[in-house]
Amino acid sequence: MIDMNQPDIKFAIEAVRQSCALAQQVQAGMKVEGLAKGDLSPVTVADFAVQALIGKGFQEHLSGATLVGEESSEMLQTGDGAETLARVREFIAPFAEGASNTAVCDWIDQGTGEPGDRYWTLDPIDGTKGYLRGEQYAIALGLVENGEVQFGILGCPNLGEGCAPDMGAGIVAVAQRGNGAYYSSAGKDFQPLHASPQTDPTQARIMRSVESGHTNVGEIDYIAEKLGVIAEPVRLDSQAKYAVLAAGGAEMLLRLMSPKYPNYKECIWDQAAGSIVLEEAGGRITDLKGNALDFSHGRKLLQNTGVFASNGHLHDVSLEAIQAVCNLPE
């Protein structure tokens, strides 16, 4: 059982809960306008505001810790970013005393640390396009030690009761290595998470993304055919998928190599928190070759090829199908 009153864990839970409320207020208070980063993925006011809020919390409660976040304030400190910075400051002010332009940028840049032997990693809004659509997204915070995730927390403001893959009042999921995975809906007591007991691959519900830019949709179809899958897929974006898997709402998730990005490597913040939530619920996660995810090589999973997550029972047979269908690099 996780000690939810342990100071670091208590801080992380409260920080993510506040961040969920902040993200919802941004959504309700403005028509979210995306900016473009270098990789053309959208960046919203909520991305920056959430990272600023959590960065401020690290300064106050975990001042010696390293935080590796997805964002930096660089683009906000140019002429084009001035309006976005003003909106970030406007929305974070009720949550964070002293929210000047300089302070907000400093809080955001608290998350520009470099991964080492021990660090936290943050995705302030995972599933930005889902957020823009008003659908599923997640706030993901994980603690990594010696290349292995030790603690993770997912805030999923729109998931249904029991981590159901539909629109609801939201959940927070927490996991600690060796101490299980738990979720709380609407601030209620934490309940244990358990992955699906399904052992029949034909009944495997495959989680399919609404956004498919970083996977290979055709190869997923071929893998499903090879396994004889007849169950309907479950569609949603972001690390909210891991909460659904951990709660038994589906059996597998694949991140294959997109033909557009054959050399793509996963970012650490896209997998850290979700991976331990699934593992501690009894599931399993590896890369497409069956190797454990290695978080010891900087900001990306440089030693891994894609990602495959399952309920555990279907992992080995599915890896065989993946390797038979996919032309994986050596």
Instruction: Mention every residue, 6+ apart, whose C-beta is less than 8 A from residue 210.
Output: 129, 130, 133, 135, 235, 236, 237
Contact 68, 143 (CB under 8 A): no
For residue 316, the tally of other CB atoms under 10 A from its CB is: 11
Q: How far apart are CA 216 and CA 168, in angstroms?
A: 29
Q: What's the token pair of residue 176? A: 């600690």
Q: Is 123 a catalytic residue?
A: no
Helix, strand or coil, per DSSP, at residue 160: strand
**At residue 204, what is the residue type?**
A
Residue among 195, 203, 206 nearest 278 (CA): 195
Residue among 128, 215, 286, 305 flagged as catalytic = 128
For residue 212, the tally of other CB atoms under 10 A from its CB is: 13
**At residue 293, what is the residue type?**
L
Helix, strand or coil, per DSSP, at residue 124: strand
Residue among 93, 99, 84, 52 nearest 71 (CA): 52
C-alpha distances out from residue 124 to 178, 230, 273, 305, Å: 26, 35, 12, 24
Contact 146, 294 (CB under 8 A): no
Q: How far apart are CA 47 and CA 83, in angstroms?
A: 15
Instruction: Mention every residue, 6+ apart, whose C-beta is less than 8 A from residue 317.
Output: 201, 227
Residue among 47, 109, 237, 287 flagged as catalytic = 47
The H or E element spanning position 323 is helix 315-325
Q: Is 294 a catalytic residue?
A: no
Contact 247, 281 (CB under 8 A): yes
The catalytic residue positions are 47, 128
